[in-house]
Amino acid sequence: MSRSDAHAQVLVIGSGAGGATTAAVLAEAGLDVLVVEEGGWVEQGSVVPFSLEQMDRQYRAGGVTVALGLPSIAYTEGRCAGGGTEINSGLYRRPPADVLARWAVDYRIRDFDPDELFAIADEVERDLSVGLRPGAATPASEVLRRGADRLGWQNDEIPRWMAYPPDGNASQAHRQSMTRTYLPRAERAGARIEVGCRVDRLELDGPRARAAHVTHADGRRNTVRFGDAFVCGGAIQSPALLQRSGIRGHIGKTLAVHPTVKLAARFADVVNTVDDVPVHQVTEFAPDLSFGGSASQPGLVALALSDHWAAFHTAMTDWQRISVYYAAITSEGRGAVRSVRGVRDPIVTYRLTRRDRELLRSGLARLALVMLEAGAEEVYPSFRDAPVVRNRADLARLQDRFVAGRASVMTVHLCSTVPLGEAEGITGASSYGKVHGTDNVWVNDASLLPTAPGVNPQATVMAIAIRNARRFAASRSARG
């Protein structure tokens, strides 16, 4: 982008699961599309996953972001081309049909056809090579399957967006993130992609946005003029940008997340696979509660032990026999995103309900039980003053001592800050993502999801984003 003003029919702000799919659909429909991304373009394989370099180059604020509350909830945001799809593990869950049906009714979403969304999901799954991992499961993944099976609890393998080599060597897989799929598609169709370009605010003339004021990584500033703008910065940055631009309404008031608590478990044999994550998930109590596996590099094992380091630190000598697991809940609580004048990033808050706290308590105890049934010698729950769990009798002590305020609660799933639909007072955008009270500002990312879906939300985000982008393109074509 030159130092002078730039122009585009459509400006897409952000390049993650929502922005990349939006850009590809609109560019392939023949529209002049400019994508601006605050972070840089980082080729897959050029940084070690979960390393300090990756945190610095691909995460917002080096991965240190938190929603204030009692307890505070740590969260992560991708800040790079491809957004969160570049830093996650590629786990994929289709949008649940019952959730889609409930959203359509409760939020009065027009033409919200599950069959259409599932047909789009079919396309996405082909485009991203979504499938099961070839070959045997990793030892850490097998732990979840074995423990759940012994308890008679429902569990399955989570599909991933991975391209595997012809010989099926899972260690040589390539994650089919947005920088490998939809962003190149958008470029091939003529879209321009500008990285290192932060949108500070949109300039409005009444209900119509005319331009975006941007700051580049090298400090230069300019203006992008456009016909329509699609804000796709994610559930934190999208409402913050709208607020900075003077767009209020029901924006940023209903943040929803999947809070998680963790534990580390030590086994007799080596289970730690540092370059991958477990792909099994225990779904016996879904959608309220589910269990899965986390990345378990030595530093992340140490982090999981750090809440009671005095009692747990000696376990680090056996880190190869330790893996980290999580219990995730679908929260009833809600949070808020507030842009503050003069502060670069918004203030984020979140409040857990009493039910949420109790579900985290029981969830952590049930997860520890899965570990014991799988053969764990010792389990180390991630909260202050937690006991070492060696048998079922210790589970009662775990539950007695657990307080959510002492736990390291975190999340990687954020949504619902600009809910879509026609229901007055509870939605921030129309059924197709146009921000209420504007003529040409659209949101097309996780912000639109009315509630937390109870599963990894990125498949839902992509299906809805493609649906909305196609409706937009069709309307522009009809106008001639």
Which CATH number fits the domain that encloses residue 185? 3.50.50.60
Tokens, residue 34: 């400019």
Q: Are both 190 and 211 inside the same structural domain?
A: yes
Domain membership flag for residue 60? no
Q: Are both 457 and 361 inside the same structural domain?
A: no
Tell me the average pLDDT across 86-98.
91
Domain membership flag for residue 146? yes
Domain membership flag for residue 104? yes
The pLDDT confidence band at residue 477, using thresholds 50, 70 and 90, is confident
Domain membership flag for residue 61? no
Per cent of the chain over pLDDT 70 is 99
Q: Give the pLDDT of residue 213.
A: 97
Kindly report the average pLDDT of the chain as a whole number: 94
Q: Are both 226 and 164 inside the same structural domain?
A: no
Q: Is residue 407 a contact partner of residue 261, using CB atoms and an 8 Å limit? A: yes
Q: Is residue 199 a contact partner of residue 40, using CB atoms and an 8 Å limit? A: no
The pLDDT confidence band at residue 342, using thresholds 50, 70 and 90, is confident
Q: Are both 274 and 147 inside the same structural domain?
A: yes
- The CATH number of residue 333's host domain is 3.30.410
Task: Count how many domains the chain has.
Answer: 2
Q: Assess whether pLDDT exceeds 70 at residue 3.
A: no
Helix (H, G, I), strand (E, B) or coil at 272: coil
Domain membership flag for residue 69? no
Domain membership flag for residue 467? yes
Q: Are both 361 and 290 inside the same structural domain?
A: yes
Residue 100: give the domain boundaries. Answer: 6-41+81-90+93-127+177-248+418-479
Q: Give the pLDDT of residue 82.
A: 96
Q: Are both 304 and 397 inside the same structural domain?
A: yes
Q: Are both 400 and 264 inside the same structural domain?
A: yes
Tell me the average pLDDT across 185-190.
98
Q: Are both 139 and 99 inside the same structural domain?
A: no
Q: Are both 292 and 223 inside the same structural domain?
A: no
Q: Tokens 């097998």 label which residue?
A: 142
Compute φ and ψ for 102, nearest 5 degrees. Answer: -65, -45
Q: Give the pLDDT of residue 88.
A: 87
Q: Are both 122 and 151 inside the same structural domain?
A: no
Which of 411, 446, 465 represents a domain boundary (last residue)? 411
Domain membership flag for residue 73? no
Tell me the average pLDDT across 216-227.
95
Domain membership flag for residue 441? yes
Q: Are both 191 and 207 inside the same structural domain?
A: yes
Q: Give the pLDDT of residue 480.
A: 58
Q: Are both 181 and 161 inside the same structural domain?
A: no
Q: Tell me the β-bridge partners of 67.
A: 73
Alpha-carbon distance 429 to 416, whole Å?
A: 11
Which of 370, 388, 411 represents a domain boundary (last residue)? 411
Could you tell me which of 83, 16, 65 has the C-alpha nearest to residue 349? 65
Q: Assess whether pLDDT exceeds 90 at residue 426.
A: yes
Active-site annotation, residues? 413
Q: Assess whether pLDDT exceeds 70 at residue 336.
A: yes
Which of 411, 441, 459 represents a domain boundary (last residue)? 411
